[in-house]
Amino acid sequence: MDATHLDTFIDALIDELTPVPAPEDDADRRLCHLLDSPRRVLDEQPLLAVLVAAVTARNLLDHVIAQAVAATERMGIPARKQLRSGADLLTSLGVAPGAAHRAARVGRAAHTLPALTRAQRLGGVGIEFADAVGKGITHIDNRVPLSEEDRAKVVTKLMIQTTPAQVAEKARAMAIDKAGAQPEDDQSVPVAENSDLNEMTVVVTEEGRVAATFDVDALTGEELLTALDPLCRPIPLPDGSPDPRPVGKRRADALGQLVRTYLSHSHRPMSGGVLPHVSLIRPAAAGFVDTLGFTGPVSAVTADLITCDSTLGTVIVDGNGAPLDVGRSERLFTPAIRKGLAVRDGGCAHPGCGRPVSWCDAHHIIPWGSDGTTSIDNGVLLCRRHHTAIHHGGWQVYLGPDRHPWFIPPHKPGEAEPAHLRSHARRTMTDLPTAA
C-alpha cells in the first residue's frame, strides 16, 4: 500500500459524506444519510458500528502520521525544506502546533516502546494515550533509570490505565515508589526534595486563557502554599453574606495577587534590559483590537482595566512640591498620589473589603481614556477582584460630596437604582464632609 491506496480510500469517503437526496431503497443509502438523518432504532447498531470503525481508523491514521513524520526526520527532509523538525513540517501542512509536536514525540519514541506500538498498529490506542505513556516512561526514567526489562513492565502497567490523565498519575506514583525503593547510597537527595526535577508547562488556550501545570520540589511547593494561604481566605460580601467564590477561584485570585505584587517590586530580574511588566499593544488604526504581548487579543473593557493604573497635561503639587494631580500628563498614579489614596481609603475601598493597600490597584473613577485626570479626587484604591467588578461586573463608583468613594451595585436597565454604598473606610451613617 502506498499514497495511491490512501488517496482512493479518502476519495471514496468524501463521496460517501457528500450530501445527496435520500434514496427510497435502503441498499442505496450512503454514510451521509446515516450521519445526517439516522432512523430511530433501525440505525442504532449501524451508527455505533460506524463510530467504532471511525475511532479505529483515526487511531491508525494518527499512528501513520507519527511514524511518517519520524521517518522524515530520519531522512533529514525537514532540514532540506528549511524547517527545524518534523513537527514544523506537520504545522506547515495545517496541523495544529500542539498536535504536531505530539505526533513527532510519539513517532520518535515508537522504537523504544514495542508493546505500545503493536497496540497502535491494531488501532486500539489513540495518539493522546500513546503520548501519555511515552511521557510517563520519560518521567519515571528521569527519576530512576529503567532497564529494558523494567521499561517493558512499566509500559504494561501504564497501558492498562483508562485515560491519559490516569496514565500520568500512575507514572508519578510509580516514580515515587521506585525512587523510595532505591538503596540509600543512591539517594543523595530524596525525589520529593530534588529541585533538579522541577518542571512547569504554560499554554495559551484557543480561548486566549492560560493553562499551567507544574511539578516542583516539596520546599518550593511549601513556599507557594505559604504565600497563597493568607490570600485564599474567604472575603464576605458587602452585606455580610459568605464569599461565593469556590476554593479554586480563590486560589487563582491569590496567584494573580502574588504575580502583581512581584511585578510591582522594583528589584525583580531584568527582561531584555528592562523590568518585566504587562504590555498592552494599542493599534492606532481603526478596525484592530487591543492585544497583550503573551496571550493575544483582549476586549475593550479588559484593556481599560489594564490601563486604569497606567499614564498624559497639567501637574498640581502640594505645599511640599509633591504632585497630587498630574492631570493628563501621566496615566499612572504617582507614589505621592497613591500615598494620599492610601490615607483616604485605607486599602480596598469597596464596601466590606478593606484588603491592604499593597494589594490594591489605583483606579480612575472617570476613565483616563474618557479625559479623566490622574488625581486623588479621581482615584480610588481597589483590590484586583473589586477592580474587575467595576470594569466587568456592572459596579459603578463615584466621588461623593464627602470626597470619599461611593459605590452603586449592579442593576438592570430600567430597574430602580439600588441604594448607594459607602467606601469601606466610611463607617458613619452620614455623608457630611466632617463625618469620620
Q: Is the pLDDT of residue 111 over 50?
A: yes
Which tops the pLDDT comparison, 184 or 219? 219
Residue 351 · residue 380 · CB < 8 Å? no
The residues pairing with 102 across neighbouring beta strands, listed in sequence order, are: none
| Residue 315: per-residue pLDDT | 42
For residue 422, the surrounding DSSP H or E stretch is strand 421-422
pLDDT confidence bin for 53, thresholds 50/70/90: very high
Q: Is the dihedral of CA 390, 391, 393, 395 positive or negative?
A: positive
Whether the pLDDT of residue 242 is over 50: the answer is yes
Work out the mean pLDDT of the chain and round it to a whole number. Answer: 81
Average pLDDT score over residue span 18-43: 84
Query: In the predicted model, is pLDDT for residue 321 greater than 50?
Result: no
Can you tell me the mean pLDDT for 104-131? 92
Asked if 86 and 70 touch (Cβ cutoff 8 Å), the reply is: yes
Q: Which candidate, 427, 429, 408, places its Cα nearest to that of 419?
A: 408
Provide the β-strand partners of residue 363: 380
Query: What count of other Cβ atoms lies within 10 Å of the Cβ of residue 277?
Result: 11
pLDDT value of position 295: 59
pLDDT per position as a tens digit, 124-164: 999 999 999 999 998 888 878 888 888 889 999 999 988 88
d(CA 161, CA 172): 13
Instruction: Give the integer Cα–Cα distance in Å for 372 and 350.
Output: 20
pLDDT in tens, 354-379: 888 888 889 999 988 888 888 888 99
Residues in the chain: 436
Grid cell of 81 as nine digits? 525544506
Question: 391-406: per-residue pLDDT in tens?
Answer: 888 899 999 888 889 9
- A 10 A CB-CB count for 46 gives 14
- Rounding to the nearest 10 degrees, give the CA dihedral for residues 170, 175, 181, 186: 180
Note the pLDDT tens digit of each residue in 243-262: 999 999 999 999 988 888 88
**Position 309 confidence tier, pLDDT thresholds 50, 70, 90:** low
Mean pLDDT along residues 212-227: 82
Work out the pLDDT band at 313, boundaries 50, 70, 90: very low
Question: How many Cα atoms within 13 Å fall on the side-chain side of residue 183?
Answer: 2
Query: How does pLDDT run across 272-302, given as a tens digit for each residue?
Result: 444 445 656 656 555 666 676 555 677 777 6
CA distance 86 to 194: 33
Percent of the chain topping pLDDT 70: 80
Q: Which of 98-102, 303-307, 414-418 has the lowest mean pLDDT?
A: 303-307
Segment 36-59 mean pLDDT: 90
**Domain parsing of the chain, residue ranges:** 38-181, 200-263, 309-422
Region of 356 on the Ramachandran plot (φ > 0 left; ψ -120 to 50 alpha; else beta): beta
Contact call for residues 375 and 325 (beta carbons, < 8 A): yes
Q: What is the pTM of this model?
A: 0.52
DSSP, collapsed to helix, strand or coil, labels residue 72 as helix
* 196 Rama class: left (phi>0) / alpha (psi -120 to 50) / beta: alpha
State the residue for C-alpha cell 488556550: 205
pLDDT at residue number 436: 46
pLDDT for position 87: 93
Q: Which residue has the higher pLDDT, 283 or 351?
A: 351
Specify which residues 291 forms β-bridges with. Answer: 281, 297
- Could you identify the residue written with the cell 529494558? 148
- Provide the pLDDT for residue 93: 93
Can you tell me the distance from the alpha carbon of 272 to that of 293, in angstroms, rounded to the nearest whole number? Answer: 14
Model confidence pLDDT, tens digit, residues 191-209: 666 777 888 888 888 888 8
